[in-house]
Amino acid sequence: MGKIVILTGAGISAESGLGTFRDEGGLWSQHRIEDVATPEGFARNPELVQGFYNTRRTHAAKASPNAAHMALALLQREWPDEVVIVTQNVDGLHEAGGAEDVLHMHGTLAGALCSACRHRWQAPEEMRVGQPCPACQEPTARPDVVWFGEMPYFMDQIYVHLAECELFAAIGTSGQVYPAAAFVHEALAVGAQTFELNLEPSDVVSAFDETRFGPATETVPRWVSDLMGTR
Ligand code: OAD
């Protein structure tokens, strides 16, 4: 078996206590996407947006990786070929669970970004509006997360990995946000075997060869152990 690409979403961190977006009571039932996850929302009300991400940063800092994060890190260490983890999550739980070189396509709460010069640095726990950029001194610091209408990060690298993979898995993601929801089609186009592991079927479930439904802390360690048995 060759290279594996794994896409993760909010569902993998749900059992670490971090809310998902679209499940009942999720973040998008409490906040409007246009207000807190778009460049226009930030321009209109930067206090609201910084506050939203400050709260999420505080929650993420208190959360611990769960058995699903750990199982993927184990797979990465033990699998004879490359295991690439691409996440839509902005928490750092894959890394806290021991994973390496995680591609954060939607950015990370740990980072700050200057909207003026694109300089990046480590975000303080609480970012404030008008905080100066350490490089250009402009008061244009924002969270280094990707908002709707912006280009996700690492896309070139991700498409190269997808073109080379023999196995693709999507874990804990609803399949409602593109381009991530279309990665399965890239993998299918090169003949990869495709797996969906989710609590409930995603919007793109019919594209997958195999599905396993249940909480990630149960399905992911079992799937990893099954895969290791095929080495
Ligand atoms: P969603 O909230 O859209 O979907 C979460 C998925 O996780 C659903 O399919 C749930 O069934 C599943 N789920 C919930 N609990 C689970 C558990 N314990 N184990 C396994 N699966 C579970 O989150 P994402 O698909 O990650 O982007 O959302 C994608 C993007 O939309 C996010 O990165 C974010 C959001 O708007 C931006 O903000 C740009």
In the prediction, which pLDDT does 109 show?
98
The answer, yes or no, to whether residue 1 has pLDDT greater than 80, is no
Q: Does the active-site annotation cover 106?
A: yes
pLDDT tens readout for residues 112-143: 999 999 999 999 999 999 899 999 999 999 99
User: Is 174 close to ligand 1, i.e. is its CB under 6 Å away?
Assistant: yes
Contact partners, residue 136, CB within 8 Å, separation at least 6: 114, 116, 117, 119
User: Given pLDDT bands bounded at 50, 70 and 90, which one contains residue 230?
Assistant: confident
Which H, E and C letters describe 77-117, residue by residue?
Answer: HHCCCCEEEEECCCCCHHHHCCCCCCEECCEEEEEEEECCC
Q: What percent of the chain has pLDDT over 70?
A: 100
Measure the CA–CA gap between 9 and 110, rounded to whole angstroms. Answer: 17
132 DSSP assignment: P
The residue whose two tokens read 């890394």 is 95
In the prediction, which pLDDT does 19 show?
93
User: Given pLDDT bands bounded at 50, 70 and 90, which one contains residue 216?
Assistant: very high
Measure the CA–CA gap between 139 and 151, rounded to whole angstroms. Answer: 23
Measure the CA–CA gap between 31 and 148, rounded to whole angstroms. Answer: 14
Residue ranges per structural domain of the chain:
1-17+65-106+152-231, 19-62+107-145
- CA dihedral of 82, 147, 207, 185, whole degrees rounded to 10: -60
Looking at 3.30.1600.10, 3.50.50.60, 3.40.718.10, 3.20.190.10, the CATH number of the domain 19-62+107-145 comes to 3.30.1600.10
What is the average pLDDT across 18-30? 95
Q: Compute φ and ψ for 43, nearest 5 degrees.
A: -65, -35
What is the average pLDDT across 104-110? 98
Strands ordered across the beta sheet of 103-104: 103-104, 83-87, 4-8, 167-171, 193-198, 210-213
Average pLDDT of the chain? Answer: 97
User: Is 9 close to ligand 1, i.e. is its CB under 6 Å away?
Assistant: yes
- The pTM of the full predicted model, rounded to 2 decimals, is 0.97
In the prediction, which pLDDT does 224 show?
98
In the prediction, which pLDDT does 68 show?
98
| Strand-pair category, 167-171 with 141-145 | unpaired
The answer, yes or no, to whether residue 162 has pLDDT greater than 80, is yes
Residue nearest to atom 25 of ligand 1 (CA): 173
Domain 1-17+65-106+152-231 and domain 19-62+107-145, same fold? Reply is: no
Intra-chain end-to-end CA distance of the chain, in Å:
7
Ligand 1: distance of its center to the CA of 132 in Å? 33
pLDDT tens readout for residues 77-95: 999 999 999 999 999 999 9
| Fold type of domain 1-17+65-106+152-231 | Rossmann fold (3.40.50)
The answer, yes or no, to whether residue 231 has pLDDT greater than 80, is no
User: Is 172 close to ligand 1, i.e. is its CB under 6 Å away?
Assistant: yes
pLDDT tens readout for residues 35-65: 999 999 999 999 999 999 999 999 999 999 9
In the prediction, which pLDDT does 82 show?
98
